[in-house]
Each structure stands twice: as C-alpha cells, then as structure tokens.
Structure 1
Amino acid sequence: MKKIERRVFPARELRVRRSASGGATLAGYSAVFNRPSENLGWGDTEIREFIAPGAFTQALQNSNCVAVFNHDPNFVLGRESAGTLRLRQDDHGLLATISLPETQLGRDLAVSVERGDIAGQSFCFTVARDKWTRNKENGAATRTILEIGELIDVGPVTYPAYPDTDIARRSFERFIRSGNTGHRLKHFNHRKNYLKSKRMIIK
C-alpha cells in the first residue's frame, strides 16, 4: 500500500498567462526547497519539515503526474503524458506549468487565480528517503525529505488546508523509538484527534 502524503504551499507565485488565441497557461511552484513548513507538531513537540534540493530528480524520471483542482481526480487540468502538464525542477523548487483546458472549469480557474481567489498550490507524493533530527535543547524535531518516491498529482486548491501529516507522524514515531527516548506518543494522537475535530487536517 502506498504511503501517500500531501502538502500545500501558498500560491503567491501562481500566475496565469494568456495567449493571443485565447488559451491560458497556469504556472507556479508546487513545492519549494529549503522552506520550513508550518509547525506539524503533535502534543508539545514542534516539528518542521523541509524538502531538500534535488528531491524530485528520481520521481520526475518515472512519473506520469496529473494536474487536478482541489485534490479532485474528477477535475483534471492536465497530464504529463498528454503534454498539457510540464514539470521542471530548478534551484527554487518544483515548477508546474499547466495548459488549462478550454472548458468552463479551465476558464473559471484562470479568472479565479487572476483575482487572487485561489490561495494554495498542492502536490501529492510518496517519500523514498527522509531524515529526522532533534534539537536537544528544546526538543524540536526537523524532517528533511531527501527523495520523493512518486509524484502523483499537483494543482491549485481553493484554500490551504492543514496538510495530511498522518504518514509523517508515523515516521516521527519510528524516529523517536529508534532513539530510545521514552517519549510518550499519546500526546501525538491527542494532537491528531484535536485537529480532526477542528477540521484542520484533510483526513
């Protein structure tokens, strides 16, 4: 079973380009390197996540990623194999360029991005390699994603939901156990249940 994760980034770098023929292209970074995430912590533990430069190298060689709106596979905007989605990794992150379909969805989405109504860009992925570190003074933990295993989808979202961190939580629990710290993991489950009750996580 795939351990699928999803992250959301601010869409301030999301741009629409219109052609003379009336078509529209949506371009922006689905992921940014070396930028700390919001606090993904559970209980009293602060946890930040980073994506290492070059993390998408292997995934881009094998992916047939799709672009979707609001995580919904019924709202397909483009696909790599069709040439309507182009992904490129550079020093800043993962740049996605989508040739928007000339449908009502595509036209409405272009207008919404231009107006600033669309507030996030997400990507769905699996992790091949990551690394955890812990600050001995304050207990804060850092997860660095070193290699993306599979890139499943990218795309704009209406609002940046709290990221689905269930897989990251289990990875952190393994890290804690391997360090034999004796940390009480019930705090993490309490934090997860609280976020669910507030509808602050995707699932």
Structure 2
Amino acid sequence: MKNTLERRSYTFDVRATEGENGEKIITGRPIVYEAKTDLGYFDEVIARGALDGADLRDVRFLVNHDTSMIPLARSRRNNGNSTMKLSTDFDGMSMDFVKLDVENNSDARALYSAVQRGDITGMSFMFSIDAQEWLDLESEHPTRRITKIGKVVEVSAVTFPAYDSTEITARSKETLESARLELESAREQRAESVDTDNSLELAKAKYNYFFKNGG
C-alpha cells in the first residue's frame, strides 16, 4: 500500500474569503480524523494522528483532481513562496489558506465564485498509506483504520464529493480492490490463528484428561 496513491473526497466546510490586501482566499479541511465512511466492502476511518510525520513537502491544489490543469496553488514546505498553507491539528488537516490569482487565472476566478456561491462544497485529497489495521474481521462489514498516512501529494475542490458514499473514481476502484484482497488475507490469517489456538486448547484438554485418568 505504501507506493499506491488513493483518493478520498467528502462534503466539508469550504469557504471563500478576502485577505487584508483584498486577496481572494479559500480555506477548508481536506482530511478529517475519525470520520467513518462506507466503501462497500468495509468501513474506513482515518485514525487521529495518522498525519503525524506524513510527507507534506510538496502539495498541489487542483479542481476535481485534474492534473492536466495548472495548479491553482502549491505548498512547498509551507515556506514563504507557498500559495497554500497546510497544517495538522486534533481534527485532521486544515487548509489555512489558498491564495487564488483571480486576475490572471480564469480557473481560479471561476473556483472562487463557485465556492463563494456555495456551488462547490467538497474537498478531496490524494495520499499514500503506510500503516493500517483491520477491526471486526468476524463481521460481514469490518473496519479499516488508516493509522499512518505516508504522503499527501494533492488536495482538490470537488464538484461531487463522495467520501460518504460508495461512489469512487476508476483509479480508486483499483486501490479498493487491493484493499479488499488485503481484507481477505487478514481474515484468513485470523482464521488460521483461531484454528491454531483451538488446536492448542484441544491438545491441552487431551493431556489433562489422560493425566487425570492415568494415561
């Protein structure tokens, strides 16, 4: 999973504001901790603290994950040249500001207007997973907890947020299938562990029976 990039999107608070110098700014929250999402085969939760130590050195801001377009903003280690500032807190990742060049970029102007009007209310992000755990494997609908995000490469404002549904992109379907296979593997490992424990208990019971009854 470490080398695979996944996308998740959902409805959350995205706001269009003006800075002190009249700058057109968008703020929002691309990643939310402890929000359960149904991905069809299982629920998924990004655990609190999953972004600790994550690689946020170079993150682009796009619309609808359109990598063919010029990024509307970019965070480079949140340095002074960055047009987007990201931070992590108790609730996840916060997009403190995205400075949009509405004068020279028509896409930026259109996005600012759409967010201001409330026509776009979703955020999305592209990331890699470094660590995860499976819960409730004995149930028909277990939960995958993402405990460590490796890297965030891009955040987007999205027209159709889908984090809270089973609608996913074609690329996400591939990664979802990979996750399903991991789920089956985790279930098999758990079953083998249970069988081993049962065998040990059975052997112990036989030993106690023969010992008490003189062999």
TM-score, normalised to structure 1, is 0.77
Is 2:54 the partner of 1:59?
Answer: yes
**How does 1:41-56 map onto structure 2 within 5 Å?**
41-42=40-41, 47-56=42-51
Residue aligning to 2:88? 89
1:21 shift after superposition: 4.0
Within the candidate set 158, 168, 172, 2:179 is matched to 168
User: Structure 2: how far apart are the matches of 1:109 and 1:85?
Assistant: 15
Is 2:120 the partner of 1:118?
Answer: yes
Say whether the 8 Å CA contact 1:6–1:125 is kept in structure 2: yes
Say whether the 8 Å CA contact 1:4–1:167 is kept in structure 2: no
Is 2:29 the partner of 1:34?
Answer: no
Say whether the 8 Å CA contact 2:137–2:187 is kept in structure 1: no
Cα displacement string for residues 88-125 of structure 1 (whole angstroms, at most 9, x for unaligned residues): 11111111131122311111101101111113100000
Say whether the 8 Å CA contact 1:69–1:75 is kept in structure 2: no
Within the candidate set 60, 66, 69, 2:63 is matched to 69
1:134 shift after superposition: 1.4
Is 2:155 the partner of 1:154?
Answer: yes
Unmatched 5+ stretches in structure 1: 182-203
Residue aligning to 1:188? none
Cα displacement string for residues 144-168 of structure 1 (whole angstroms, at most 9, x for unaligned residues): 1101011110120111242323443
The alignment yields a C-alpha RMSD, in angstroms, of 2.0
User: Structure 1: how far apart are the matches of 2:133 and 2:30?
Assistant: 21
1:179 shift after superposition: 2.2
| Structure 2 SS opposite 1:178 | helix
Is 2:151 the partner of 1:140?
Answer: no
| Greater Rg by CA | 2
User: Structure 2: how far apart are the matches of 1:58 and 1:174?
Assistant: 28
Unmatched 5+ stretches in structure 2: 193-215
Q: Which amino acid aligns with 1:176?
A: R
User: Structure 2: how far apart are the matches of 1:21 and 1:141?
Assistant: 50
| Structure 1 SS opposite 2:101 | coil
Say whether the 8 Å CA contact 1:5–1:167 is kept in structure 2: no
| Structure 2 SS opposite 1:16 | strand
Equivalenced residues, count: 173
